[in-house]
Amino acid sequence: MNLTVDQVDVLQELVNIGVGRAAGVLNEMIGSPICLRIPYIKVLSPQELQPDLEIRFNGDLLSTVGLNFSGSFAGTAELIFPTESASTLVEVLTGETAGTPDLDSVKIGTLLEVGNIVLNGIMGSLSNVLVQHLEYSLPTYLEGRIDKLFNSKHLDAKASVFLAHTRFIIEQLQIAGDIIVIFKVGSFDAMLKAIDLAFEGDNERDPGSPERVWHS
């Protein structure tokens, strides 16, 4: 499946709006500025997804919170941190001093809630703009390398997936994280229709900026 330039533009802006809201929430929670990179948008096959992600995450040990969504369109949104960054973030939020970089059940519970809030910020923005209601499953926590975290086997081999990826950096705390949203296609077609409906006749779009910073 190929996207038109206009469709890529709209999708990028939608992800931007959602990530912007999520960054605003994260900024309020931790009180430090969040620097966002411009999102990367790509349509690819399930076979291409895993190698693509492996290149992006370079074999790092990762902590991820996943939120599955369904409705007019379906897929999964993931908040991804190097495990050490995740541990630092939890310490900032809970006010507990550094122990080991490992995440115990309390830390995991905190990270799950952070992921839940951030990912709902993104998906909720998409839902509101496109006027399409989404249902969410309980968020899940996984730790490991990207090949373990994203197994393409459960995806229909003939289908396409839509990958949106953005990186955020909290310089004061030396935390970097990534947000990726993977839409299962079938549902992606439905999303494109929703976009066409929502943006019918709207030719004026904000070109956006390569980098944005949220301050508390």
The residues, any chain, with a CB within 8 Å of residue 121's CB and separated by 6 or more, are 18, 21, 22, 24, 25
Q: How far is the CB of 98 from another protein (least distance, A)?
A: 17
- CA 200 from chain centre, in angstroms, equals 26
Applying CB under 8 A, which part among 57-65, 129-137, 170-178, 193-201 lies near another protein? 129-137
Nearest to 145 by CA among 207, 216, 196, 83: 83
Alpha-carbon gap, residue 37 to 100, rounded angstroms: 30
- State whether residue 93 is helix, strand or coil: helix
Per-residue binder mask for another protein (CB under 8 A), 5-44, x = binder = ----------------x---x--xx---------------
Rounded to a whole number of angstroms, the minimum distance from the CB of residue 180 to another protein is 18
184 with 155: CB under 8 angstroms?
yes
Neighbours of 178 (CB within 10 A): 19
Of residues 131-160, those binding another protein (CB under 8 A): 133-134, 136, 138-139
From 39-47, 79-87, 115-123, 169-177, give the range in contact with another protein by CB under 8 A.
Answer: 115-123
CB nearer to another protein: give 29 or 61. 29
Within 63-102, which residues bind another protein (CB under 8 A)? 93-94
Cβ distance 130 to 194 under 8 Å? Answer: yes
- Residues making contact with another protein (CB under 8 A): 21, 25, 28-29, 93-94, 106, 109-110, 112-113, 116-117, 120-121, 124-125, 127-128, 133-134, 136, 138-139
